[in-house]
Chain A
Amino acid sequence: MLSTKFSPMSKEEVDRKWWEIGDFFRRNSLWMLMYCTGCCAIELPPAMTSAYDMERLGMGPMATPRQADVLLVTGYLSLKTLRRLIYTYEQMSEPKYIVGFGSCTINGGIYHDSHAVINQLNKYVPVDVFVAGCMPNTEAVMNGFVDLMDLIKNKKANGWKDYHERYDWYLANQKAALGEVRVHDEFHE
């Protein structure tokens, strides 16, 4: 027999419900910040324009890190770029996600033995979705975005929480590769 008595939800349950509602909005309106470091960036114009039309999924390019939800790292990252990428990532407002493009972000790709290019992006910043390929074709890129939406729906896109929890680990990796994360150059000082 069904009880008609009103049973108040616990605070955790209310929070969870709100979070699910928020997830619905977040996954249907992903705003991208394109950090076009490498050649994979050339796959984004066909994904955005009339061939594949990313906007029908609610995605669109944004101008600054503060406004964006997804950071697209398209290609290899030199040490100098990684330093700026960490700045950019930490400026984004939460919840935030990272999509890594191409083999270069997974294992170094064709730059695996270069003195200036890092090999694994997810040692330094938390990556939610990798799109493999050198370079990935546009269907793979679109599929990566749909995967990210599924991950958000299933509450598995928790890279930004991981960055909070294991910040010491990420910072140690960053320091091992970069020496110091702070940018020192004559144009910023």
Chain B
Amino acid sequence: MTNSMSNIEFTTDLVESKFSVLSTEVVDKYQVSFEVKKEDVHSLLSLLKSSGWIQLSYLSAVDWPLDNEFEVVYIVFNWDKAVHIQIRTRVDRETPSINSILPIFPGCKYYEREAHEFFGIKFPGNPDHEKQLILEEWDDLPPLRKDFDPRAYSDKKFSKMEYKNDFVNTNGEVSKQDARTKRYDDIDKLRTGGKK
């Protein structure tokens, strides 16, 4: 157990001695997260790769609409020390773009395509990053942005089942749903004093 804690310390020392880290968060004893500036990502990843974090486990993004920024997350994994490292960086939301890490981790090819598809982030340096991967023939905003409304898209694009009223009411009884709606309306009326 002490071993894994020293792993975290080793990692933190390694990263913080060479780069200006904006914030460090130790998630648990097997996982640590560094937030760095956009320019430092490539050199930091090269350093980590040469220090044993040879596998890119995942690359994705988080949408922060209030900050008007995307947070790109790289997760690398070491097969000798049990530590996952998350590298987080912020990119501008209006023209999101960050250079590809294809020369460092060739396996990022498909992750970058996925991130471009779902968030619209551009990865110059990856020749395929604009090809479609999961969504085929997509014709709207990238769907994992927070300002994309999946329900409106679904209503617009896919036909819905239409239920007839007599299909809901069986045996001529008042449906429970209708009674519930009426009760809620009554409560609303009492609360607002009869005004709508």
Residues of chain A having any CB pair with chain B under 8 Å: 79-80, 83, 106-108, 112-120, 123, 173, 176-180, 183-186
The total number of A-B Cβ pairs within 8 Å is 57
Partner of A119, one of B132, B134, B143, B161: B161
Partner of B154, one of A112, A173, A184, A185: A112
User: In terms of DSSP, what is the predominant structure of the interface of chain A?
Assistant: loop
Closest 10 CB pairs of A and B: A107-B161, A179-B137, A113-B151, A115-B150, A119-B158, A115-B153, A115-B143, A118-B158, A113-B154, A123-B159
Interface residues of B in 9-35 (CB under 8 A from A): none
**A173 in contact with B143 (CB, 8 Å):** no
Interface size class of chain B, counting residues whose CB lies under 8 Å from the partner chain? 10 to 19
**A115 in contact with B134 (CB, 8 Å):** no
Residues of B within 8 A of A176 (CB): 157
**A80-B136, A176-B157, A185-B136 known; A116 and B143 CB under 8 Å?**
yes
CB of B135 closer than 8 Å to a CB of A: yes
CB of B139 closer than 8 Å to a CB of A: yes
Residues of B within 8 A of A112 (CB): 154, 160
Interface residues of B in 94-146 (CB under 8 A from A): 131-132, 134-137, 139-140, 143
Residues of A within 8 A of B150 (CB): 113-115
CB of B64 closer than 8 Å to a CB of A: no
A108 and B154 CA atoms in complex are apart in Å by 10
Residues of A within 8 A of B58 (CB): none
- CB proximity of A73 to chain B, nearest CB, Å: 16
CB of B148 closer than 8 Å to a CB of A: yes
- CB proximity of A60 to chain B, nearest CB, Å: 32
A186 and B132 CA atoms in complex are apart in Å by 9
- CB proximity of A94 to chain B, nearest CB, Å: 26
Residues of A within 8 A of B140 (CB): 115
**B137 in contact with A120 (CB, 8 Å):** no
A83 and B135 CA atoms in complex are apart in Å by 12
